[in-house]
Chains A and B, each alone.
Chain A
Amino acid sequence: DAGVIQSPRHEVTEMGQEVTLRCKPISGHNSLFWYRQTMMRGLELLIYFNNNVPIDDSGMPEDRFSAKMPNASFSTLKIQPSEPRDSAVYFCASSRQGYEQYFGPGTRLTVT
Chain B
Amino acid sequence: GESVGLHLPTLSVQEGDNSIINCAYSNSASDYFIWYKQESGKGPQFIIDIRSNMDKRQGQRVTVLLNKTVKHLSLQIAATQPGDSAVYFCAVAKGAQKLVFGQGTRLTINP
Contact = CB atoms under 8 A, between A and B. Distances in A.
A105 interface: yes
Interface residues of B, number: 20
Given A42-B101, A100-B49, A105 B96 contact: no
Contacts of A106: 42-43
Contacts of B36: 103
A100 B43 contact: no
Contacts, number: 50
Contact of B96 (A43, A100, A104): A100
Given A42-B104, A102-B46, A105-B42, A31 B97 contact: yes
Interface string B85-99: 000010100011111
A99 B96 contact: yes
B34 interface: yes
Interface string A16-49: 0000000000000001010000000011110010
Given A42-B103, A42-B104, A97 B46 contact: no
A48 to B, nearest CB: 6
For the complex, would chain B's binding face be called helix, strand, loop or mixed by DSSP majority?
Answer: loop
B26 interface: no
Contacts of B43: 4, 91, 93, 103-106
The A contact surface, by secondary structure, is strand
Contacts of B100: 45
Interface of A: 4, 31, 33, 42-45, 48, 50, 55-56, 91, 93, 95, 97-106
